[in-house]
């Protein structure tokens, strides 16, 4: 019967979900993504996570760096990330159109100069794995949430996400302690090749350019400009391996 068939499909889907669950534990930081096909639709499933928003301090950023480093060691994930640098490139002119004319051309110059980041080594990436997309459990562990853009992509996009958007405030303060803790922990878990290390700033700039209109555009542009002018300072927190 149709009911029996639906029940069988549900049981099969439940078994597939159980079989494909991946729970990673690394120095108190947990990641619990599950990916499966449910009626030919890619579906991400997570446990309900109790807890609170983690404080943006060096200790939590160190735990986050370890977790992301472990995530980026996974190279056999079968589904591509929903976003890549090449997929966003055609949309930079659309973003520029809504920016103030005073820095529209400079914005496009930075966007056009982005290198081929997608050609770098690939792995499973979260794409926005920040403390803002994490929950701190009552036991102190940190769980990554918001996996809707996750998939296989250039690994450097994950550690690159933080350098400008997370460690440089819109008031142009640079959180050196948290940045050092994050990149040190990440590098201990997953070594960056020299080419990847050189691309960290460009990966971070990609994220910052993409998100410039999601908030106070003027402040976000000032942060981008300041970061470009202080590239050497920012890159000093990314260790060589």
pLDDT of 143 over the 90 cut: no
Residue bearing the bigger pLDDT, 44 or 148: 148
- pLDDT score, position 180: 98
pLDDT in tens, 67-83: 899 999 999 998 899 89
Cα 114 to Cα 76, 167, 189, 209: the distances in Å are 27, 21, 27, 10
DSSP at 170: T
Question: Once rounded to an integer, what is the mean pLDDT over residues 64-68?
Answer: 92
Write down the pLDDT at residue 223.
98
Question: pLDDT class for 43, splitting at 50, 70, 90?
Answer: low
Please report the pLDDT score of residue 34 as a whole number. Answer: 53
Nearest to 153 by CA among 116, 186, 127: 127
- Whole-model pTM: value is 0.82
Q: Give per-residue pLDDT as tens, 150-187.
A: 899 999 999 999 999 999 999 999 999 999 999 999 99
Smallest CA-to-CA distance from 179 within 189, 161, 164, 167 is with 167
């Amino acid at each position: 019967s149709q009911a029996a068939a639906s029940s069988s499909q549900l049981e099969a889907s439940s078994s597939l979900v159980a079989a494909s669950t991946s729970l990673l534990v690394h120095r108190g930081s947990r990641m619990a993504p599950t990916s499966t096909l449910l009626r030919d639709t890619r579906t991400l499933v997570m446990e309900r996570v109790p807890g609170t928003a983690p404080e943006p301090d060096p200790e939590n950023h160190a735990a986050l760096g370890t977790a992301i480093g472990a995530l980026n060691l996974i190279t056999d994930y079968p589904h591509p990330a929903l976003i890549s640098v090449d997929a966003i490139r055609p949309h930079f002119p659309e973003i520029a159109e809504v920016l103030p004319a005073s820095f529209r051309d400079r914005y496009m110059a930075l966007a056009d100069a982005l290198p081929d980041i997608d050609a770098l080594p690939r792995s499973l990436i979260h794409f926005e794995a920040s403390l803002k997309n994490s929950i701190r459990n009552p036991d102190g562990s940190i769980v990554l949430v918001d996996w809707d853009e996750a998939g296989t992509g250039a690994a450097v996009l994950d550690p690159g996400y933080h350098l400008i958007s997370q460690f440089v405030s819109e008031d142009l303060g640079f959180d050196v302690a948290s940045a050092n803790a994050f990149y040190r922990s990440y590098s201990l878990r997953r070594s960056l090749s020299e080419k990847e290390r050189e691309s960290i700033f460009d990966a971070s700039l990609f994220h910052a350019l993409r998100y410039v209109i999601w908030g106070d555009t003027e402040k976000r542009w000032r942060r981008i400009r300041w970061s470009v002018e202080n590239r050497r300072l920012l890159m000093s927190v990314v260790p060589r391996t």
